[in-house]
Structures are given as structure tokens and as C-alpha cells.
Structure 1
Amino acid sequence: MMVKDPSYLASMSRSTVERLDYESELQLNVLWKKNFQKRIIPLKADLEESQFGLDQQTYESVAEQVDFIYHYGATVNRFPCSKLYQSNVCGTGDIIRLATYTKRPQIPMHYISTVSVLTSDTNNKIFVDKIAPESLSTGYAQSKWVAEKLVMEANRLELPVTIYRLGSTETSTKTCVCNRTDPLIFFFATIMNLHVYPAFGRKNEGITNKEKSTAMETRANRSLYNGNDSV
């Protein structure tokens, strides 16, 4: 969580503030700024638990202070949808509850989805309503499809929502920053080590983390001044 007022940290229950090594990770991705140390408050939370496992005081404090919600959390693996439902679907439902918890204006929600909710032959703009979930190849894609439906229903009920369907995260050509655990990165590393390239006609397209974060920040600022700016 990022806050505008550093003094807000003093109002948090100290036992819930998780001392994570987020600074080195942001530095590695060339995203770190000096003022982040006073503004970023990492909280130990779990998408599979009610109210993310936060105590009531902390949960209410977050609901009162947050200006935007960026929901990027999900379990990503090859499990069937039933194994991912609690974190990916119910967790998204809890995010919506957080956004609508207080009597103040609802918190705009930026939901990071995935192109996996689209079938492989999708080339044009399409709503998930037009896609049969059983046509999706993985449990992860199916769980994100259901979560998108939840978010779209929340938007229908006037929660300000923006949905981003992000694809692969590529290596920055300027900084060489990449997701070191991404299978695609391992694939490219193998190509370079073996000096061979598989003979298939697939074209891979993606953007860097920096480009993703910049696009989402721009969209969030626009929705702040223009009201509901939903996709």
C-alpha cells in the first residue's frame, strides 16, 4: 500500500506491518524512488482469508485511507480452477468489498486480468460474456474469467472499475530488467545459449513492467479527475 501522508504509518497496528525486502526488488526493476521508503507500507495479507487476514482496525484504516486499489494478486499455476477459486475469485470478491466498505465515495478499482481469458483465435475487441469458460485451456484462465465477471458486475452496480488484460512481460531494452522467474525468459535464455530457434510462426508480443505501471498510473489519474473510467 502506498500513502500520501507518511504519518499514517503511526496509526497502523505495528504487528501487521511486514518488513519485506521490497526496496531491493524495486531497485532491481529500476522503479525505486527515495521517498518510497516513507510512503510504502507493506502489510502481511492473504487473498484466501477473510479481510485478507488483517485485524479489524487495520482493515478499516486501509479502507479509509486508500485512494486507488490495484488488484494484481492471483495464484498462477497449472492447478484446476477449483484449486484457484479461493484466491483468484473469492479474493477478488474481498477486494470489491474493501472498495465499497466505507460510507465515503467508493474506491476506484484497477483490476489486472490477463489475455488468458481470451481464446487463442480472438483477434478483435470482445467481452468475456461472449467466451465460454470451458473453452479456456487452463484453470488459471477460467478462474480469472470468473473474477472478471465479478468485477464487471461490480462496475454495473457503479463501482469505478478499469480492467487491464495484460500479456507477457518482456525484458526492457533500456535497463535489461525482466522477470527472472518467467518461463518465457528462460525460453529466450535457452535460445541464446543453444544458438537455435524453434521453427514456428508464432509472434510473441509483450511490454515491460515500466510500460505497464506507467500506463496504469496514467489511467488512474485520468479516472481520478474524470470520474468512472471503466473498461
Structure 2
Amino acid sequence: MREQDADAWDVWGAARAGRKERNAAGAVTWFNWTQWPDHGPDEKVLGDLSGARVLDLGCGSGGNLAHLAALGAEAVGVDISPVQVAKARARRPHLDVRQRTAEEFLTADTYEFEVVYSVFGAAWFTDPAVLLPLVHARLAPGGVYAFSHNPPALSGCYGPQASQMQPPEKGAEPLYVKRWDYEAGTWGELLRQAGFTDVTAEVIAPPEGKRTGTLLVRGVRSA
């Protein structure tokens, strides 16, 4: 496991307040693809989930994972951060959450999944040349892979970029992780090259008064 990356994500996770107890509709679990609460599409992007074996890459504190489990999915989450894994297990003790990198889990696991997804998670912070073939190999025929994250911050700055995590201690050195920034069209082509079909890639407009939209990418493993 990349110890420095785990430390960086512990810093990020410890600073996050986590989800509120209920969303605007009064639900205690829900699915959010965007960084804005009560905004954007829901779990229907992933297709029929009842009884489906589902994998969340970079599940964080488990909000989306808990919702899919409540819908009847056989849901598994992986996250590199011990802090985030502990939060997910505290949210719902029965959640199946593993402290692993996405690459470690996908390489070691022998199960097939009907759905693999990532919301501002490992799909953004793992080299797609490594991750996409691993996801494709673990998807059942007809299975769905979908992920979301911010669009590129700067036009023309694509490929691996640095994300900074600042520890709260005074004078502490910042920690850095890599993310992979591409425009929607490039992500679509990367999925097609990895063997996915029915690929869509779009930017979801932000809610009124916000500046940053959310990139949502989806593909299907051929039957």
C-alpha cells in the first residue's frame, strides 16, 4: 500500500464532516454523483441494483455504499484511508469495507461484479492505463462501470496532476497525491480503448450560484 497516499487521504478524511443525517427529501440514505448535495442524477445511472454485486472504488465514509446496500445490492467498498474506512464501518457496521488500494483489490479479488463505480474516488486518483483493464477484467459481461469527479481545473493541463492535502498541524509539510485530469471526450476514448461499449461522458452543470460542474463517465463491458 502506498503509505504516503494513505496518510494524505487520512488528512483529507479527518477534515471532512461527513454526510448529514437526512437529505432534502428526508431520506436517510441516498446516492450523490456530484460534489453538491441534493443535486444531479442518482443510482439509476448504474442500472438494476437489486441483488447485484457492486464495488465502490474509493468509498470514503460509505454514504453511497450504504445506500446501495439498502437497495438490496451486495455492496463492497475499498478505500486506502484507515480514517475513512473507520467512518464507513461506524456508519453501518455491516458494510463490507476493505482497506486496500483499488489496484490491490482488483488484482487479488476473483469475484465478478455487475457494477463498479467511483465517486470522486480511485478512478480519479489512479492511472487509467492501470485501472481500466483491471476494472474491465472484474466486470461481468454486460456490467457497468461509472465514475465522477471534477472536470480539469485548467484547460490544456491534462494527464497526471498534483492534489495537495494540508495537515492541520502548524508548520506541517503538505502531502500530495496524483490525480488524472482529462476532458469528457478523452475519458470516453480511454474507455473504448479498454474494451468498454455504450460509453457516455458528460459534464453535469452545477447548481445555480456554483461554478464547477461534475464530469460523469459510464461504460459497459460487452456481453
> Whose helix fraction is larger, Structure 1's or Structure 2's?
1
Instruction: With the length of structure 1 as denominator, give the TM-score of the two structures.
Output: 0.37
